[in-house]
């Protein structure tokens, strides 16, 4: 599938889901956002980009925990951002764009975070390279996603690849760590863990290498 077609499939699927997304996946959203935010280090004055921000739950959490932060949320789906707009402050910028072609100048952000969107990226190497471009030297990235090292995620991944055009694939922890290293990041933490007895996640925390 061509990358443009993949992006279109994601937009189409989440345009339909947007108004009921938070209700349908409430427990999962709360759990993954909590795990991701727990691994985020944000200081007052930081510029933070949330890639695949969806309905803005993570952005809302950052707003409530750290003052003086500039926040930008990016998502492929305009309808999801319309929901996010009702949740976040008026000062939070919301941008419709693709992770693999970020519409920002180089060195625009101190922190980039992505929660549960990595398995939709058609070209993860390109997405991570773009994140590296928009980060300042020594800026940090935190990526949380499903983890293919768990059998339930592996089975779900195989089924979704067969039946959902929007889905790309789920990666294992070592794969995600290797992608980050290949994009020029210094991985400082790489964890896999379960959020209940069934579902497993991974989180990569890394720094942009200072050249």
Quote the CA–CA distance of 79 and 70 in Å, as a whole number: 22
Q: Given pLDDT bands bounded at 50, 70 and 90, which one contains residue 86?
A: very high
pTM of the model: 0.94
Closest CA to 47 of 18, 10, 75, 73: 73
Q: Given pLDDT bands bounded at 50, 70 and 90, which one contains residue 3?
A: very low
Q: Given pLDDT bands bounded at 50, 70 and 90, which one contains residue 144?
A: very high
Q: Summarize pLDDT for 11-67 with one digit per residue, the tens.
A: 999 999 999 999 999 999 999 999 999 999 999 999 999 999 999 999 999 998 888
Q: Given pLDDT bands bounded at 50, 70 and 90, which one contains residue 91?
A: very high
Quote the CA–CA distance of 155 and 153 in Å, as a whole number: 5
Mean predicted confidence (pLDDT) in 69-88: 97
Residues 6+ apart with CB under 8 A from 198: 152
Quote the CA–CA distance of 90 and 113 in Å, as a whole number: 20
Q: Which residue has the tokens 């039946």?
A: 163
Q: Given pLDDT bands bounded at 50, 70 and 90, which one contains residue 7?
A: confident
DSSP 8-class letter at 91? T
Domain positions in the chain are: 3-208
Quote the CA–CA distance of 153 and 148 in Å, as a whole number: 5
Q: Summarize pLDDT for 117-136 with one digit per residue, the tens.
A: 999 999 999 999 999 999 99
Q: Which two tokens stand for residue 113?
A: 């975070």
DSSP string, 35-60: HHHHT----TT-EEEEET-TTSHHHH
DSSP 8-class letter at 210? P
CATH topology of domain 3-208: Rossmann fold (3.40.50)
Report the run of H or E that residue 7 belongs to, with start and end. Answer: helix 3-24
């Amino acid at each position: 599938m061509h990358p443009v077609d993949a992006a279109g499939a994601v937009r189409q699927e989440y345009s339909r889901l947007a108004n009921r997304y938070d209700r349908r996946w409430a427990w999962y959203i709360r759990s993954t956002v909590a795990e991701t935010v727990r691994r985020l280090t944000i200081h007052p004055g930081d510029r933070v980009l949330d890639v695949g921000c969806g309905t803005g739950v993570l952005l809302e959490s950052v707003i409530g925990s750290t003052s003086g932060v500039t926040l930008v949320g990016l998502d492929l789906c305009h309808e999801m951002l319309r929901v996010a707009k009702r949740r976040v402050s008026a000062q939070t910028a919301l941008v419709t764009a693709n992770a693999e072609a970020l519409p920002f100048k180089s060195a625009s952000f101190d922190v980039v975070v992505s929660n549960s969107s990595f398995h939709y990226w058609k070209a993860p190497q390109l997405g991570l390279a773009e994140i590296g471009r928009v980060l300042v030297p020594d800026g940090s990235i935190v990526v949380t996603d499903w983890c293919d090292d768990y059998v339930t995620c592996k089975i779900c991944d195989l089924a979704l690849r067969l039946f959902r055009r929007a889905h790309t694939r789920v990666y294992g922890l070592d794969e995600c760590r290797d992608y980050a290293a290949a994009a020029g990041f210094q991985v400082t933490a790489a964890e896999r863990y379960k959020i209940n007895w069934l579902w497993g996640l991974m989180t990569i925390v890394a720094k942009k290498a200072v050249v």
